[in-house]
Chain A
Amino acid sequence: MELFANLALGMQTAFSLEALLFCFAGVFVGTFVGALPGIGPLVAISVTLPLTFGLDSTIALIMLAGIFYGAQYGGSVTSILLNLPGTASTAVTALDGYPMTRDGRAGLALFTNAAASFAGSSFAIILVMAFAPAIGRIAMDFNSTEYFSVMVLGLVAASTLSNGSTIKSFAMITFGLILGLVGMDLNSGAQRYTFGILQLTDGLSLIAVAMGMFGVAEIINKIAAPDSTATQRGAGGIGLRAMLPRRDELRRFWGPTGRGAALGSMVGALPGAGPSIASFMAYAVEKRVSRDPGKFGKGAIEGVAAPESANNASVQAAFIPTLSLGIPGDVVMAVLLGAMMMHGVVPGPAFISNEPAMFWALVVSFWIGNVMLLVLNIPLIGLFVKLVSIPGRFLYPTVMFFICMGSYSINNSTFDVYVTLVFGVLGYILLRFGFQPAPVLLGFILGPLIEENLRRSLVIARGDPMVFLDRPVSVALLSLSLLLILAPILRHLVVRWRGARHAG
């Protein structure tokens, strides 16, 4: 009964004309930026953030969240039609989605994408409704040691589960933690890594760092091959009839969608892991459980349904740790967390009990937004494909201005524009060296929180580090972190042992 009362509370706000309008604006912008390679939801959220300062905080969050999950839909459309993933999490969809387009089954691939995305999102929204308030209630009893351990787990998960080298991810997390420490320590007044620069006393701006590392860096990267994304046409004009699946195709849809939703929700709820990992894992699982793995990569419906369901479920489930613990589920969530703070909302265990109307309005808006996306994706596919054809020479300077305006307008500070550019160059260098920039941002966000809880725990325990092993939750979380660190080494040893046994 309490659930229905809460949903009714959320509906009051979410179904207001203003909320519907901004939800639509969010998912539309999200779909657009998701379709454009190089401009992800993170840049879009950062750029639109200043525009939301005049709005009610709930409406602003509804719009910003809409950009995030809308981007997953948009990215998939271009993956399927043009073999151009707009976001990293939709790259795996192209493996089977694009062959379907080449086989003349683009309509079916788009239907599978839209339906699986909606199913995955809906499943994860139910989990958000069920678990976020419960986790929030449990977390109210957390002390600083448990908070510290949750954040350590998030950082370890981000370095061990991310794509690419674990060592490089670990290095990026430490780099992010250092960036998070820049500025004046509020307890002692000591300056850290400010090098006498007055503007650094308050620390680096999250938005400036995020837009630099993800927006400017990506544009610099694309400038090397400016029109690689441009002028690909010819995939528009798909009718509704071409989208409808046959009965046997529908039968092959449900299993992968269900498994993708479950896996994606699990990965998304883990602090530090994001939709890219979810979609790649879902694809790998589907290939493994399939009776005919050879069909993957040649236009298998399962190869579209599973990753799409997983990445959308992951995006929605990422709201669980963000809203209930104040720990971002992934890098875009980190920026969304920053946006919430700028709107005077403090995410964390007390958020849901202090702001029930905002939480439930947000949850209801997720569903409204996903229905809008389902409806939007069918008639507007041709338009999104045309938008992707905007030549880079127009797109990149325009986006550069959006980024500069976004970073400037947060504090009306030219220094933030310089910071954005510096981190843009840094992000480009990191990309060229094979480093993932996402762990940097997670380390940057979690750094001050980790330090606060580390110091508080040690103060309470009079400097005894064993305090982190006093409470079972903390022990469990730290053990899980250790397991994640040791897992690759153990896997390696097992493989070698098996190899030796076979050779023997």
Chain B
Amino acid sequence: MHADDASDTIAPGAGSDLLAGGFLFAWAGVGWIGYLTNERLRASLESPSPDPGPALLALIVLWGLTLGGTAVTASGVWRRARGGRLRDGLEDARTHLRPAAFVVTLILLAVLLRPLGFLPAAGVFTACWLYGLTAGARLSLRHAALALLGGVLLPLGLQLVFAGLLLVPLPR
């Protein structure tokens, strides 16, 4: 993050507002499904007890999120109506390729921790990313050797310090 940079995030535009609004709607949708399919929760609103029940705040905040999604979407529609393009505020999809790959390997790491154990799973993850972030698309033996070394030393060091010295349990 450089101080000169306006922000790490994308600038607001018709496209980004519409997508952001859709994102909020998606979460509100998940919330509404959770609420509407929960008979016991809905029934608590009808209860004669003075306690308004567990549905009251749930309902209020769901409406809040839905309204927030509507407002952000409306802002996108307004920008579009004023001549904004759908592309405005959206980044090139390629920007997200490396983050997406990182997420995929993180999921793999979490899944492989149990069958492989911490050291091998963490070793593969570290070696892959050391290589990926150093060499990029180029194939280089030197970088591969460095990545392999890092893949062995880093998890070993962590295991030694955390599990060995500080007695912090490692994920497995």
Contacts and interface: CB of A to CB of B under 8 A. Distances in A.
Interface of A: 37-38, 50-51, 79, 83-85, 88, 91-92, 94-95, 98, 165, 167-168, 170-171, 173-175, 177-178, 181, 185, 187-188, 190-193, 195, 216, 219-221, 223-224, 226-229, 392-394, 396-398, 400-401, 404-405, 408-409, 412, 414, 417-418, 421, 424-425, 428-429, 431-435, 447, 450-451, 454-455, 458-459, 462-463
Interface in B115-172: 122, 125-126, 129-130, 133-134, 150, 154-155, 158, 162, 166, 168-172
A433 B65 contact: no
A404 B2 CA distance: 27
B69 A171 contact: yes
B117 to A, nearest CB: 13
Contact of A98 (B3, B52, B107, B170): B3
Interface string B37-71: 01011001000001111111110011011001101
B146 to A, nearest CB: 9
Contacts of A412: 169
Given A398-B154, A433-B19, A226 B133 contact: yes
Contact of A425 (B9, B103, B171): B103
Given A171-B68, A190-B44, A434 B9 contact: yes
A409 B125 CA distance: 20
A177 B31 CA distance: 11
Contacts of A37: 1
Nearest to A457: B52
B41 A190 contact: yes
Contact of A178 (B8, B10, B61, B69): B61
B27 interface: yes
A400 B10 CA distance: 25
Contacts of A463: 50, 52
A188 B54 contact: yes
Contact of B51 (A192, A223, A393, A458): A458
A398 B68 CA distance: 37
B55 to A, nearest CB: 8
Given A397-B125, A414-B114, A435-B20, A171 B171 contact: no
Nearest to B107: A421
A432 B9 contact: yes
Interface in B10-32: 10-12, 16, 19-20, 23-24, 27, 30-31
Given A190-B44, A432-B9, A434-B20, A223 B61 contact: no
Contacts of B122: 401
16 contacts: A91-B3, A168-B72, A178-B58, A188-B51, A190-B55, A220-B102, A220-B103, A229-B1, A397-B130, A400-B125, A405-B170, A421-B106, A424-B106, A434-B16, A447-B57, A455-B51
A459 B72 contact: no
B34 A195 contact: yes
Contacts of A165: 12
Complex A-B, nearest 4 residue pairs according to Cβ-Cβ distance, in ascending order? A171-B68, A94-B3, A174-B64, A393-B133
Contacts of B158: 398, 401, 405
Given A84-B3, A229-B1, 16 more contacts: A171-B72, A173-B64, A174-B62, A177-B61, A178-B27, A178-B61, A178-B65, A190-B53, A191-B40, A224-B98, A226-B98, A431-B9, A433-B16, A434-B12, A434-B20, A447-B61
A433 B41 contact: no
A174 B61 contact: yes
B58 A192 contact: yes
A51 B166 contact: yes
Given A171-B24, A401-B155, A432 B91 contact: yes
Contacts of B110: 404, 414, 417-418, 421
A414 B113 contact: yes
B102 A51 contact: no
A193 B34 contact: yes
Contacts of A433: 9-10, 16, 19-20, 23
Nearest to A37: B1
Given A174-B65, A192-B34, A454-B56, A168 B3 contact: no
B129 A168 contact: no
Nearest to A434: B9
Contact of A408 (B69, B125, B155, B169): B169
A192 B114 contact: no
Contacts of B155: 401
Given A418-B110, A462-B50, A408 B99 contact: no
Given A85-B1, A431-B8, A405 B171 contact: yes
Contacts of A195: 34
Nearest to A54: B167
A79 B107 CA distance: 34
Contacts of B10: 432-434
A167 B19 CA distance: 15
Contacts of A405: 158, 162, 168, 170-171
Nearest to B30: A193
Contacts of B82: none
Contacts of A193: 30-31, 34-35, 58
Contacts of B113: 414, 417
Contacts of B134: 393
B145 to A, nearest CB: 14
Nearest to B43: A190
B112 to A, nearest CB: 11
Contacts of B99: 220-221, 223-224, 428
Contacts of A171: 24, 64-65, 68-69, 71-72
A50 to B, nearest CB: 5
Contacts of A98: 3
B96 A224 contact: yes
Contact of B98 (A95, A223, A418, A458): A223
B34 A393 contact: no
